[in-house]
Structure 1
Amino acid sequence: MAKTTGKGGKAKSSEIFAGFQNLRSEQRQLANKISELEMDLNEHKIVIETLQAVEPSRKCFRMVGGVVVERTVAEVLPELEGNKERLPQVLQALHEQLAKKGQEINDYIEKHDIKVQRGSENASEVPREDAPAKSNVLVASG
């Protein structure tokens, strides 16, 4: 399908590979963003639990856009709770995008007849008895 000969074939296969790498990169970026937002959600929960036990007039500090601002607990707590309520919706949308990107990658693989190799051909393969054993050996000469 994607196999052609000559210089044009190599250029086409490198374009196909670049497209595949681009899709995988986008998938990784989505997964990283999901992970980051899940950590933010957990941090929001911890901070909200902590601030609920504090008197509302007490001052606290919050980082907004890289700048630390001084506020009171009464001002910060509703903002944090609002953010905590919106984060699951954003995470759900990102999970849907990640699933679509995975399907897009699978379609791209099928369309261009790409064979994906992972590490070794069969990770669960038992070493043969006649094959040399792999081991780490440190030899010190005296």
Structure 2
Amino acid sequence: MGFDEISLKGRALRLLAGREHSRAELQRKLRTHETEPGELNRALDELEAKGFINEQRVIESVVHRRSSRLGAARVRQELQAKGLDAQAVAEAVAGLQGSEEARALEVWRRKFGQPPRDAAEHGKQTRFLLNRGFGTELVRRVVRGAAIQDDEV
């Protein structure tokens, strides 16, 4: 085991100490530090065998950290960007669907807390929730529901 391999493992462990990373993320981040072909793969294989790299933990971590602020579409996008297994991503996102409306309403409450007063504010609230990855129909219901609750139809 050469000095460079220890260095790569050390770099990978330092990244993993901050948060969970997928193997693809680590490859992307550490590729420039590889001095001989295959060196990075060997280091990552060893870390994966020892349980330091675990895709299911990455998925659970992202869902836990991001689902309270983002819709299922944005969570899916973040998971896909990490190069995770498509089936595992689909299952994790499917699990978010049941709480999507409650999460969208909570995000809306934290950000705005009151119904839109005019069309411009309605557009702002709608765009905000859409950019957070909530579906169009759901956003429409949340923003419209807030206006109806306040009798501002």
User: TM-score, normalized by length of structure 2?
Assistant: 0.26
* Greater share of helix: 2
* Greater share of strand: 1
RCO (CA 8 Å, sep 6+): is it higher in 1 or 2? 1
Determine which structure has more spread, i.e. the larger CA radius of gyration.
Answer: 1
User: TM-score, normalized by length of structure 1?
Assistant: 0.27
